[in-house]
Structure 1
Amino acid sequence: MAPDSIGDAELPGAASPPTQRVVAVLELLSRHATERLSLARIVREAGLSRATAHAVLAQLTAEGWTVRDNDGCYGIGLRLLTVARRAEAAFPLRRTAVPHLRELSEQAGVPVFLAERAGNSIVVTEVVGHPSAGWIRPGRRLPLAPPVCREFVAWAPEPVQQAWLATADPAHHDRLARVLAEIRTRGYSVERLVDDSTPMLEVLAGLRDSPITAALRAQLGSVITELITIDYLPDELGPENAVVTLSAPIRDRSGAVVAAVVSCPDTRLSALALSQLGVATVSAADRITSGGSHD
């Protein structure tokens, strides 16, 4: 995976690079909320110069967003924690979902996460357990684009489905259409990979999410698509089936899919075990749907 840094240079299209540098520092510290990070580590992992990182941290610390201990290491401050707790009120879905995610993870014995729709993207917002895939972490953003995030599209109106399919690789259009119908029938999507392709896929996905040209991003997308075997159709299930993730939809009061519960076995499952995990994941998603309005 590409490192989570924005660098000290201005990013193409960045409206405010100084703001992005502040955000990079806060995001880094929040991912290590129980630790204290040295300035050298922050410089390295946030991709900033030492002078820039020091200036950002000095201002954040002066205003209480971060704290600095006697060893010169930094952590999140009480002001940031206070703002985060106030902000939770704006996201009732997460409060509703967390107990059900934990219950599913404990019963199924696999990590679980919540993915929420945000415009044309899907954002990982809650993670229970420790998924083996490095990209699964709070704040991770994925494009709502073929061939992934199918559970967000399968129940959409026909024009929306067709518009989504129109952006897919033409070679996969027919299969994706059949897969969407199968997802509606069984209630969940399955992400599977060609054997031994996971490490390569993660590297390519990291490159695609980095600041690169649109043409190169499109080329990387085509390579990634070639590594993905899109879901399972009923006649493709065998004695053992490679399952990375399994996703079931959460709906708002109008019935639109606004989020998904995603189980992460990342192993081979029998057809029966896959079906049982699917049923459990759908059940958790349905309980979350019925537990709040999720507007």
Structure 2
Amino acid sequence: MTPTIGRAARTGQEAMPNPAREDAGTASPPTQRVVQVLELLSRHATERLSLARIVREAGLSRATAHAVLTQLTADGWTARDAEGCYGIGLRLLTVARRAEAAFPLRRTAITHLRALSEHTGTPVFLAERDGDSIVVTEVVGDPSAGWIRPGRRLPLAPPVCREFIAWTSEPERQEWLSTADPAHRDRLTHVLAEIRARGYSVERLADDSTPVLEALAALRDSPVTSALRTQLSSAITELITIDYLPDELGPENAVVTVAAPIRDTDGAVIASVVTCPDTRLSTTELSNLGTATVAAAQRITEGDPGD
């Protein structure tokens, strides 16, 4: 969905501060403001952002943003250039590098992600489980889907993230399925079994359907009548075709992503390797891509440091 662009954004004027956005639901609003600024700058790590842009995108008042940035810059967390624009500072970079030691999976995975991307000619990313969410933590190449970027968080909810659920216990699978749209549950049950059999999931939703799907889902989840919610759910069901079952594969198959699981020492799925062809593949090409993705995930599971 395309974000609504307000008058201030269109004209280059600063947006009015939103006190509710600054303070709502936070135990420590001053800390939250610092985090907002650092998160914004980290999303644009190779750029320098003007104070006006930071004010607008972080939803802070000019005075607040200036005060936060002045202190962060004085302490080395951010840097200010000659034009008065801001970026991340060396102190933040140092802390980030130290923090990498807490995430050994990413260090092990990155070599294999690069090799897989080079071998298949497709972008690749690593998705890690974080409680009830999945977080994109490493991206190699330039995926065509705009949502694929480091830090992007997705709910572990039907019908996506199936490779994280396929190998769980039967009670866990049933609990996950119980939260799915009733129209999808039978298909999802068969799809999970197929994913276990072949070793990977396939996302086949065409990119041009995504904006429509997101709009319908937002309407369905808003305060509407039961009759309208049922109609919206029906429309969503018609747009989504979940994965491929064996008898559905043809000469050409739309494939957005292929994902294979990474397991911990207990066998639980903690992450996945995801290749992103976003094109049409023959059955053989899809099988080969799936095999390569599974092999990379297996090497990461085994802790192979790669070359």
TM-score under structure 1 normalisation? Answer: 0.88
Could you report, residue by residue, the CA deviation over 1:235-255 in whole angstroms, capped at 9, with x for unpaired residues?
A: 111111111111000000000
Instruction: Determine what percentage of the aligned residue pairs are the same residue.
Output: 78
Report the Cα distance in structure 1 between the residues aligned to 2:26 and 2:165, rounded to whole angstroms.
30
1:111–1:264 CA contact under 8 A, matched in 2 = yes
Could you report, residue by residue, the CA deviation over 1:91-138 in whole angstroms, capped at 9, with x for unpaired residues?
A: 000000000000001111111000000000000000001111111111
The match for 2:205 among 189, 193, 211 is: 193
- Partner AA of 2:20 in structure 1: A
- Partner AA of 1:9 in structure 2: A
Shift of 1:12: 5.5
The residue aligned with 1:132 is 144
Matched, 1:9 2:20: yes
2:132–2:155 CA contact under 8 A, matched in 1 = yes
The match for 1:229 among 241, 244, 251 is: 241
3-state SS in 2 of match to 1:113: strand
- Partner AA of 2:194 in structure 1: E
Shift of 1:79: 1.1
- Partner AA of 1:86 in structure 2: R
Report the Cα distance in structure 2 between the residues aligned to 1:95 and 1:128, rounded to whole angstroms.
13
User: Number of residue pairs matched?
Assistant: 285
2:108–2:300 CA contact under 8 A, matched in 1 = yes
CA spacing shift, 1:274–1:171, aligned 2, 3 Å: same
- Partner AA of 1:254 in structure 2: D
Report the Cα distance in structure 1 between the residues aligned to 2:18 and 2:200, rounded to whole angstroms.
39
CA spacing shift, 1:15–1:142, aligned 2, 3 Å: farther
Could you report, residue by residue, the CA deviation over 1:201-253 in whole angstroms, capped at 9, with x for unpaired residues?
A: 46668x69xxxx8768xx6x956555321111011111111111110000000
1:184-223 mapped onto 2 (5 Å cutoff): 184-194=196-206, 196-201=208-213, 222=233
The residue aligned with 1:141 is 153
2:206–2:256 CA contact under 8 A, matched in 1 = no
CA spacing shift, 1:110–1:169, aligned 2, 3 Å: same
The residue aligned with 1:248 is 260
Shift of 1:40: 1.8
Indicate the structure whose relative CO is greater, using CA pairs within 8 Å and at least 6 residues apart.
1
1:1-295 mapped onto 2 (5 Å cutoff): 1=1, 8-10=19-21, 13-194=25-206, 196-201=208-213, 222=233, 226-291=238-303
Larger radius of gyration: 2
- Partner AA of 2:52 in structure 1: A
CA spacing shift, 1:15–1:232, aligned 2, 3 Å: farther
Report the Cα distance in structure 2 between the residues aligned to 1:251 and 1:195, rounded to whole angstroms.
29
2:200–2:261 CA contact under 8 A, matched in 1 = yes
Report the Cα distance in structure 1 between the residues aligned to 2:115 and 2:98, rounded to whole angstroms.
26
3-state SS in 2 of match to 1:258: strand
2:136–2:152 CA contact under 8 A, matched in 1 = yes
Report the Cα distance in structure 2 between the residues aligned to 1:106 and 1:7, rounded to whole angstroms.
46
TM-score under structure 2 normalisation? Answer: 0.85
CA spacing shift, 1:47–1:9, aligned 2, 3 Å: same
Report the Cα distance in structure 2 between the residues aligned to 1:117 and 1:14, rounded to whole angstroms.
25
CA spacing shift, 1:203–1:214, aligned 2, 3 Å: closer
- Partner AA of 2:184 in structure 1: H
- Partner AA of 1:26 in structure 2: L
Give unmatched runs, 5+ long, in structure 1: none
- Partner AA of 2:300 in structure 1: I
Shift of 1:52: 2.5
